[in-house]
Structure 1
């Protein structure tokens, strides 16, 4: 270990001397001597490394320790020394590269800086900028107000578009409901006509003509079959026609009745709310009137007692509103 320490000190000393020596250049007289010294140092280093490698291997074999079922082995000192030498060599190469690529002095052409304008011209420009600043601020303010107004108008237009879409959807919904009601009304009218024709032709029974144009238009149900261009015609008897008509008519009347009941219920609830509000207002007015009447009676009584006390005790001080009795 002492040999290793001495070698390290020697390497540091050699590094310091190598840094302190002047850099190699073609015109340096010590360039050849430096090359010889470097070759000799390299040979010495390789010899010392081989010697230290052998010592390290022996030392590594001696440093094995047996602890229970485990074997503790010290790190490879030779590998560590090699890594240190490689790192040192790379650092030396880096320093050498920095010295070789050190930038040279900067040479600039003399130029005249500033002083292109006279003082009077500069002051005139400052005065002009100062005079224009007020108009520039005004212009910026107008631009800000214009941009703000445009943003507000865009927001308003957006809200209007949303409301327009809602109104259009509501209109479409109302139109669809109206069409549905008209279809139900037309269907009911058609079945009323068929029912009247059945009554006039002796229905219910089988003596009616199934090929009548009115019956054929109203009571024949055409259903498409899976095969194209083929239809299945289903004929209804007068009794089935009457039952179907009664069912459809009952459903339509029930829908109308439900709508009417719903409207009446809403009107009843609205009248009930109005009655409750009117009753609440009347109660408040009654309480206010009762309170004002009590206050007026109390004031009249206090005034009467004050006059009475003033008459019975003329020498005493008169305190208006004081009766001498607990309130």
Structure 2
């Protein structure tokens, strides 16, 4: 089935993804770098995440209803109303997605490990598993996808080497492993059931996965807060309760909104029928470019630390990878298009 979603080029969605991610990076970094008037220190990721995730959950549900995407999803009738529910595959994907959303806040809590360092490490793992998922499902991985994958990995290696290598505490390593497992589950399910090029399949997958994964991730965070274990529970308690009565809720609304927009564009990019080794580097590179671009804006406008030279070099390599992924398939398809034109 062809509709406006399939008519819009994939690179256009990548650009929109980047535009939505950029303000998310800027607002989040400002909240976690500028002292909070009441606390006397910047907010932590665990204090900002619960509200932004709850806001994103509500906005995602509203989007599912307003857009009509729920009509493509599997559903049951409850009190005369059609309620979307996941299938066994999207339920599994939702578990993987919740695992991803659950491990991200943990990555903010490790002493002596910078947040950019561990985020880059987690993204690098995803780029490594993308072609493995393709090969496991018998999907062809073409030369430009391999080339772009190597370029993106080189950018990550340069940045990570500049930050001192892979010295991490055991719990941080476990967090990276669980995050990678969650993302692997998600990519595997996507490849099996939804990378068909059918826009209705994209809508169905998005709805069925999100209606389960988002509330589950909030529940997992709430369980940590209620447990009272460690300092992170107090931070989460503030993020679940006090934040709603604090002026900081307004920028958190902006974060939740951009998270929702990014999630829509991300699912469209990742469920494109082309191989994961093409789609995943495209989506990951765009997010990293947005991160570096946001850091530059924060340095120029708000006086925050300027990105390191290695980070700028990595961003340049990532931009080159995006250009390659955008242009190479078009040049490769020209002979086939010319042959079809001659036969008509």
Could you tell me the TM-score, scaled by structure 2's length? 0.19
Larger radius of gyration: 1
Higher helix share: 2
Higher relative contact order (CA 8 A, sep 6+): 2
Could you tell me the TM-score, scaled by structure 1's length? 0.20
